[in-house]
Amino acid sequence: MDEKSILVSVVIACYNGEKYIDLCLDSLVSQTYKNIEIIVCDDCSNDHSFEILKKWAKRDERVIVLRNDKNLMAGETRNRCFKASHGEYYLIQDIDDISKPNRIEVLLNSLINESGSIDFVSSQMAAFEKNPSVITKIMDFRVEYPQKWHFLWGQPFFHPATLFRKQCIDMVGGYRGVKENRRAEDYDLFMRLYANGFKGKNISVPLYLFRLDAANIRRRDFKGRIGEYKARLYGFKELGMMPWAYPFTLKPFISYIYQQIRYASLLKKENKESIH
């Protein structure tokens, strides 16, 4: 099959993203790989997101806009996008982030070149706070081909930077729609993929620009850490690593302490910038 004939479905959950939509979609419609559909589902936003998205759908026929009748959160919203898609691959994108122009082309080439050995591929992320041109950190991986025990320490893949084969997502039923999983649906998804025999790869190229500001960190509340704890309990059991892996289920609470320190630092910086 000619690589250029492969349709890639970009999946985006949008909630109150009016400030970010244009940058996000601009980065996708400008990709060097052109055979894509961009499925954006508005998750009952109470800003002007839906109106902006409808304008995009008129501007570019590859943009398909859906809207939820009630707020479903990101996992279930992405599941709805999966059901509406036609592509052989699913590319994840968050509404407040940006893809580099060659992102899809590089990820797709990597996945095709390792056909039969991996089922999804993720890249490095370049973090920024407000200005995408000012990179504050390159978020890298330690392992190119993670194994199941790497999940003990944390998520070995950057979820929003990942391209999946449609088959592996469909086989595990997409994101698991349980309430306590809503802030850990990505971690849960990757563990279930590995538990079902699927494998992934990391490539050391920063193809994804990730917004890491105070608002992003604030969303990771303590309730979300409890959700991650429960996701770890479930995932480690599915991976056949319990009960010896139980001490690692407590890591989210340690991470929460560090997060609060990081949030206070960023908030102080943003307040200082607003004064000046």
pLDDT tens digits for range 108-128: 999 999 877 999 999 999 999
pLDDT at residue 206, as a whole number: 96
Say if 236 falls within a structural domain. Answer: no
Q: Mean pLDDT check: name the lowest of 117-121, 175-179, 214-218.
A: 214-218
Does 175 map to a domain? yes
H helices present in 12-72, as ranges: 21-29, 49-59
> 166: how many CB neighbours lie within 10 A of its CB?
17
Tally of structural domains, the chain: 1
Q: What would the mean pLDDT of 262-275 be, rounded to a whole number?
A: 64
Report yes or no on 271 lying in a domain: no
pLDDT score of 267: 64
| pTM of the predicted structure, to 2 decimals | 0.87
Kindly state whether residue 237 falls inside one of the protein's structural domains.
no
To the nearest 10°, the Cα dihedral for 38, 42, 47, 50? 60
Query: Residue 68 — very low, low, confident or very high, per pLDDT cuts 50/70/90?
Result: very high
Report if residue 245 sits inside a domain: no
* Of 96, 260, 72, 97, nearest in space to 182 by CA: 72
Whether residue 150 is predicted with pLDDT greater than 60 in this model: the reply is: yes
In a domain, 63, yes or no: yes
Residue 273 covered by a domain? no
What does the block give as tokens for 254? 């340690």
CATH of the domain at 136: 3.90.550.10
Its domain, for residue 110, covers 3-212
**Residue given tokens 């961009």 in the structure block:** 38
pLDDT of residue 228: 83
Residue 152 forms part of a structural domain: yes
pLDDT over 90 at 254, yes or no: no
Q: What is the pLDDT of residue 130?
A: 86
Q: Which pair of tokens denotes residue 13?
A: 């959950």
Per-chain mean pLDDT for the chain: 89
pLDDT of residue 274 exceeding 70, the answer is: no
Task: Give me the pLDDT at residue 1, please.
Answer: 44
Cβ partners under 8 Å of residue 180, min gap 6: 226, 227, 230, 231
